[in-house]
Structure 1
Amino acid sequence: MDSLLCDELLQEIFHRLPPPSSAAVSLVSKRWLHLLRSSTTALSVHFPPPYNSAAITSFSTFLTNHPFLSSLSIAGGGDDPLLLSVAYSCPNLRHLRYLTSPVSPFSLYSLSTCCVHLSSIAITISRPLSFHWLNFFNSLKSLSLYFANPSAEISNHEVNEMKGTLIDVELNLESLSLCGIMPGDYGISYLWRNCKNVNKLQLKSCESLGDYSSFSCFIKLLSNLQILELRTCRSVVDLVLLKLAENCVSLHSLLVYDGGSREGLLQFINRSECNLRKLDFRLPLDLDNTHLIALSENLNFRGLVSLRLQSCCVVAGEGLKAIATALANGLEELALINCDVVEREPGLLTTLGQNLKGLRKLDLSYNDMLLDKELMSMLVSCNLLRELRLRGCCKLSNAAVGSIVRSCKWLQSVDITYCCGIKLEGVECLVLNTPMLKQVEVEESKLSEAARKWAMSKFMEVVS
């Protein structure tokens, strides 16, 4: 049988197998092992110590056996020799995630020489900050940097970069993600001066923006910024949002997690001229009704299609109802994750459902006191749902499942993990009676034999 299958057909079969089957495929024969490696384009590797020369050589040999590898993620440890082995062994690499140990400029120069097609890099670098190695990555479009080794003093090199005495070269980056900027990181101004084509900006755990004047110029020159994500950046979030409101009209997606101020956020909402399409907030004490009402009144936000709120403890029904009324014809995704307003105000979900009949995605996860009757009263009006997430809603029972089956004929994906009240019979009813269902997330212990067989016959993905 093995000899009847050509290499191309075997490789196509390998591509269609679920990941756990790969280990078994490699044991069939040397031919299958060779074909599997030749058809592998993405790998995620955990590389534990020791990092001696023998281990590095063995790892290089392993990589060389995957000649068409284009995406590689390495975790676990290592330093420059490990990165150099990647550079010399993977000439076709396009995406690299290497967040083990800080890497040196020398190893990055080698990487740029050997892997000329690299378009995406995620790495850790040490202070003092220097970025001139970026000039050698001609194909780079996406850059994610994590900063290590806090420095108490500003180096002369960083002072020179801040003053702009070093040669600038405009970078072609479209996506920029920075994690851990601290006061005194003036070298970051090199990025602010030379990244003028960025359309996606992510800041994580940043206590500063380095040189604030360079950042202000950076925002003013960004005509194409479309996506902004601010995670745990309380000390800088107000400044970023203010500059954004003053200078950027192209933004369509904004995420703010774990940090901000009520006044700063309100100023952004009132003054922004962005035609936002997506809003994602995880602001336990910083987001309230005032912000939601302001959102509903700003005509620039009438094109909003996705609103996600997580752990927003002081939001009340009045603000959500104002949003639902203003966006009745357009909102396609609503998430109220761990928002106790769902439990505090009976009838709120009914009102939201009656107004937002065009919803395609609904996420009510981790509202552990959500009752069957509240969910059912909303689903009666939401007949177009494609995706429903109810993870961690402990009070829901099989009665809620019956409502899902009756009301959500177009449902394709559902998550009912950690819903203690939904039993094996309810899961079986959902799997067997939802005609468009393609994915179910649920505990394996709640899958009956009939549900398993039906899911397999319909090529339904079951995530346990």
Structure 2
Amino acid sequence: MDTILCDELLLEIFNHLPPPPSPSLSLVSKRWRRLFRSSTTSLSLHLPSLSSSLCNFLSSHPYLSSLSLSITTTKTTTYVDQILVCVSNSCPNLKNFTFLSAHFTVLQIQSLPTSFYGLNGLNISLSRPICFSWLSQFGCLKSLSVLCTGKNDNSVEFDSMGDEMMMMKNIDGGLKLESVCLTGVKSGDFSLNWLWRNCKKVKTLKLKSCEGIGGTSYFSDFIKCLNNLQEVELRKSRTIVDVVLLNLIENCSSLNSLLVYDGGSRESLLQFITQSRCKMQKIDLRLPLDLDNSHLFAMAENFRGLVSLRFESCCLVTGEGLKTIGRALGSSLEELALISCDVVDKEPGLLATVGQCLKRLRILDLSYNEMLLDKEINLMLVSCNDLFELKLRGCPRLTNATTLSIAKSCKKLESVDIMFCSKIGVEAVELLLLSSPRLRLVAVEQNKLSDVARSRVSNYFIKVVV
């Protein structure tokens, strides 16, 4: 076999294999290892220490376009410099680079080899003091993700040059960034103003665990950055959520996706929903104490084009609000998630009523509703028989009856998650696999896969997530 097939045919076979067995290909023979490595375009490595063979290993993957390195060592920055030089020399085709190290500083990124300047995507952890003027060297960069680490006691080092930095000329045409993700920004990180002033093309903005967005005297720079946004994510950033939402109302009409987790206030969220000029398609909210029926009524009135609606741990929402959503969005909604939502457990018949309204539903996520019963989900599935993705993870009261209902009602199902459903047994999983002709991904415990089920998984290239 090893000598009969040419390199091109072997590579074509490799490309059609599902992900789990792929690494074992390199163990068949030296030729297969060489071909597998030469066809690999993405690699993720965790480096507890620098190995002399790292450069040789990377060089054996000549077509790497995406590389992720995570370093936990407590050694000095010299160690980081050595790794960066190694990556620069060994990965000439690199376009997306993730580098997570506690010792990566602004001075180091300013001294990167020029080979990095052609990157399209950069994901880094950056130790304070922080500045962003180094981005002017990355003329091709479209996606930036920065985790700000360390105390901000020394950020005054850059603030002392604030006037000089703020007077720097804008980059001609601005940065090419289309996606910006910032994590761990503190209220004293005023150097963000330079970033906002040069971001004119950003379509995706993600702020995680952020306490500020720059100096208030230059707030207009941030506002201008909102003009072309299409997607906004605000996670655990309670101190800035209200400010961002209220400014989105006035300065953004292109937004179509909003995610807010663990932050904000009822008033600002309601104001955004009622006054926004945006044609929203996706809303994802995890706001246990800041979301109630008034918000759902407003969505039903003003966001009639919603395609995806996700709620998690929203304990103040009731069946009345969800029924209103169902009636208003029945002709558009394709994805609904009610994750760990009390209303699913408290109001019998709610899911069946909502399911009858949502005729276009394709994705349903009811994970971690610990009191969810077979009867409730089965009555909903009778109406939602066009589902291609279903998640019931962490619903311990569901039994084999649910898998039987899925097999009967969901003939188009491609992905199902029944992890941590303790009352669903081996026979039920086997029946589900045999009765779902389109199934391509299943999340279930390994000990619930019978020999027949394993054979089905292998023969039909079904991916099992455990």
TM-score normalised over the length of structure 2? 0.93
* 1:175 corresponds to which of 172, 179, 193: 179
2:32 corresponds in structure 1 to 32
What SS does structure 2 have at the residue aligned with 1:115?
Answer: helix
Q: Which runs of 5+ in 1 are unaligned?
A: none
Q: What is the correspondence of 1:390-409 to structure 2 with a 5 Å cutoff?
A: 390-409=392-411
1:72 corresponds in structure 2 to 67
**Equivalences, count:** 457
Tell me if structure 2 keeps the 8 A contact 1:129–1:158: no
Q: How many angstroms apart in 1 are the aligned matches of 2:169 and 2:47? A: 37
What SS does structure 2 have at the residue aligned with 1:318?
Answer: helix
CA deviation after TM superposition for structure 1 residue 18, in Å: 4.2
2:207 corresponds in structure 1 to 203
Letter in 2 for 1:200: T
Tell me if structure 1 keeps the 8 A contact 2:133–2:195: no
Identity rate of aligned residues, in percent?
A: 55
> Which deviates further from its counterpart, 1-10 or 201-210?
1-10
CA deviation after TM superposition for structure 1 residue 76, in Å: 2.9
* 2:384 corresponds to which of 357, 361, 382: 382
> Which deviates further from its counterpart, 109-118 or 329-338?
109-118
Q: How many angstroms apart in 1 are the aligned matches of 2:382 and 2:3? A: 57
* 1:250 corresponds to which of 234, 254, 274: 254
Q: How many angstroms apart in 1 are the aligned matches of 2:255 and 2:100? A: 29
* 1:63 corresponds to which of 58, 67, 70: 58
Q: Does 1:100 align with 2:93?
A: no
Q: What is the correspondence of 1:30-429 to structure 2 with a 5 Å cutoff?
A: 30-49=30-49, 51=50, 55=51, 57-77=52-72, 79-111=80-112, 113-152=114-153, 154-161=155-162, 164-169=166-171, 170-298=174-302, 301-429=303-431
CA deviation after TM superposition for structure 1 residue 106, in Å: 4.6
> Which deviates further from its counterpart, 426-435 or 14-23?
14-23
What SS does structure 2 have at the residue aligned with 1:369?
Answer: coil
> Which deviates further from its counterpart, 313-322 or 334-343?
313-322
Q: How many angstroms apart in 2 are the aligned matches of 1:25 and 1:216? A: 55
CA offsets 1:94-121 (integer angstroms, 9 cap, x no match): 0111112242345424545013431000
Q: How many angstroms apart in 2 are the aligned matches of 1:340 and 1:333? A: 19
CA deviation after TM superposition for structure 1 residue 213, in Å: 4.4
CA deviation after TM superposition for structure 1 residue 124, in Å: 1.3
Q: How many angstroms apart in 2 are the aligned matches of 1:39 and 1:410? A: 33
* 1:463 corresponds to which of 444, 462, 465: 465
Letter in 1 for 2:436: T
CA deviation after TM superposition for structure 1 residue 126, in Å: 2.1
What SS does structure 2 have at the residue aligned with 1:9?
Answer: helix
What SS does structure 2 have at the residue aligned with 1:309?
Answer: strand
1:441 corresponds in structure 2 to 443
Q: How many angstroms apart in 2 are the aligned matches of 1:267 and 1:113? A: 47
CA deviation after TM superposition for structure 1 residue 152, in Å: 2.6
Tell me if structure 1 keeps the 8 A contact 2:434–2:456: yes
Q: How many angstroms apart in 2 are the aligned matches of 1:179 and 1:462? A: 32
CA offsets 1:153-198 (integer angstroms, 9 cap, x no match): 5525335446612233111100000011111111111111111100
CA deviation after TM superposition for structure 1 residue 406, in Å: 1.7
Tell me if structure 2 keeps the 8 A contact 1:226–1:253: yes
TM-score normalised over the length of structure 1? 0.94
Q: Which runs of 5+ in 2 are unaligned?
A: 74-79
CA deviation after TM superposition for structure 1 residue 297, in Å: 1.8
CA offsets 1:129-156 (integer angstroms, 9 cap, x no match): 2222211111100000111121235525
Tell me if structure 1 keeps the 8 A contact 2:120–2:140: yes
What SS does structure 2 have at the residue aligned with 1:326?
Answer: helix
Q: CA RMSD in A?
A: 1.8
